[in-house]
Structure formats: structure tokens, C-alpha cells
Amino acid sequence: LLIDEYDNFANELMMGHRNMEEGRYRALLSGEGAMKTLFKTVKMAAGGGGIGRVFITGVSPVAMSDLTSAYNVARNIYLDDRFNTLCGFREAEIAGMTATIARECQLPEARAEEAVDMMRTFYNGYRFSRRVEGQVYNPTLALYFLEAFARECRHPDEPLDSNLAMDRGKMHYIARLPLGREVIFEALADSESISVLRIADRFGVEDMLH
């Protein structure tokens, strides 16, 4: 069973911080709420009732934490170094693809190297585990760039895909958090990358809203 963006509604609640939505959220996850009932059923089915494995994706562990005993069998793997490259391209893969495109477009090798430099500048790479050295590139952004490069034999005019632009609501939400404004300014400043020493792997909506 694959469940994608299981926490979408919880994130929308946090962005808006609306009392009516907060009450609806609690109703879904408490007592015999629909989401709690659903995950109880999934838990039972995965325990020998017909489901072999369950893979759940989401942005944060908020809703999963608030489900408590309804689904307390999940194991977080997003910081596990074994899966650091699961959802992205390594730089060696990026370099190989740009080299192939340059050859097919009959471009000099230097153009492929320029493409890698440009992608490194704008996409920079992600690292999900502090125990690994290699970084991975966001696959959506990388494919956006590579498709344009292959189609037009030149770099795209806009290096960032507008479909991934951060919406204003998320920026307002981050700014409302303690030290949120400082984090935004630091991220936008031309300085060293932001370093996060510890990432919490369990917190509920109460922790986020109050």
C-alpha cells in the first residue's frame, strides 16, 4: 500500500491556523474519526490481513504523531543514510546526462560542464543524513533543466521551475515561528549554508500551533 502526502490537510491547517480547521483536524484524528479509523484498519491489515508492506510519504510527522496508537508501527527512514540518494540524482549522474545531451546536440564538452556548474549553483544538492558526504539533486528541478537542455540544446532561460515556487502562505507561516524571520533572512543572504544540528522526528499539531 502506497499513501502519498498523507499529511497534506495537516500542513494546510498549520499554514492557515484557522480555529474551524483545527477542530476538523482533531475530529479526524481523535476517537472514531475517519483518518484514525483508516489507519487502524491499515495497521490491522498489515499485521496479517492482506497488506504486505506500507509505504507512506509526507512533509512532516505531524499527523502521524497525532494518530498515537492508531498507527504506532511506522518507522521513519527519511534521515537514514542508506536512503539518502533514494529520491534524487547524484552529481555523477547529472554530469553523465549533461555530457550525453551535449554530444547529441554536437556541443563542446565545456557546455556540459557549464550546465553542471549552473545546476549546482541553483539546485545545490540535498543531504538528508549528516553521516553521508554526497549530495543529491532535486529530481523535479533536474529534469526540468535537462529536458529544456535536450530539447533546445541550451540552458533554460529560467533556472527554476515555476511549479515548485514556494507559495506566500508558507513564507508567512515560517515568519510567524520563533526566529522564523531570522531563518528566512539568513537563507536569502549571500553567506554560508544554514546548518541544522538536529531535526525533530516526532511532534504534533499542538507543538506547531501553540
The verdict on 44 and 25 lying in the same domain is yes
Asked whether 23 and 9 are in contact (CB, 8 A), the reply is no
At residue 18, the pLDDT reads 57
Task: Give the count of alpha carbons within 13 A of 78, CB side only.
Answer: 14
- Largest pairwise CA distance in the chain: 64
For residue 163, pLDDT over 70 is answered with: yes
The verdict on 91 and 160 lying in the same domain is yes
Give me the chain's average pLDDT, please: 81
For residue 17, pLDDT over 60 is answered with: no
List the domain range (segments joined by +) for residue 8. 2-76
* 186: its cell numbers: 539568513
The verdict on 89 and 145 lying in the same domain is yes
Residue found by looking up cell 511532534 in the block: 203
Choosing from 39, 57, 76, the residue where a domain stops is: 76
| Helix, strand, coil distribution of the chain in percent, nearest 5 | 55, 5, 40
For residue 14, pLDDT over 70 is answered with: no
Q: The whole model's pTM is what?
A: 0.70
The verdict on 88 and 122 lying in the same domain is yes
The predicted-structure confidence for 104-139, as pLDDT tens digits, reads as follows 999 999 999 999 999 988 887 788 787 888 788 988
At residue 171, the pLDDT reads 75
Instruction: Please indicate, yes or no, if residue 183 is contained in any of the structural domains.
Output: no
Residue 103 pLDDT grade (very low, low, confident, very high; cuts 50, 70, 90): very high
At residue 144, the pLDDT reads 93
At residue 64, the pLDDT reads 76
Instruction: Please indicate, yes or no, if residue 197 is contained in any of the structural domains.
Output: no
Quote the number of domains for the chain.
Answer: 2
Helix 168-176 and helix 180-188: axis angle, to 10°?
A: 120
The predicted-structure confidence for 37-52, as pLDDT tens digits, reads as follows 888 889 999 888 889 9
Q: Which whole number is the average pLDDT over 161-174?
A: 72
CA-CA distance, 164 to 142, in Å (whole number)?
A: 12
**E strand intervals along 73-182:** 89-90, 136-137
Residue found by looking up cell 529534469 in the block: 143
The verdict on 95 and 136 lying in the same domain is yes
For residue 88, pLDDT over 70 is answered with: yes
At residue 92, the pLDDT reads 92
Instruction: Please indicate, yes or no, if residue 210 is contained in any of the structural domains.
Output: no
Residue among 21, 8, 111, 130 nearest 59 (CA): 8
Residue 145 pLDDT grade (very low, low, confident, very high; cuts 50, 70, 90): very high
Residue 207 pLDDT grade (very low, low, confident, very high; cuts 50, 70, 90): low
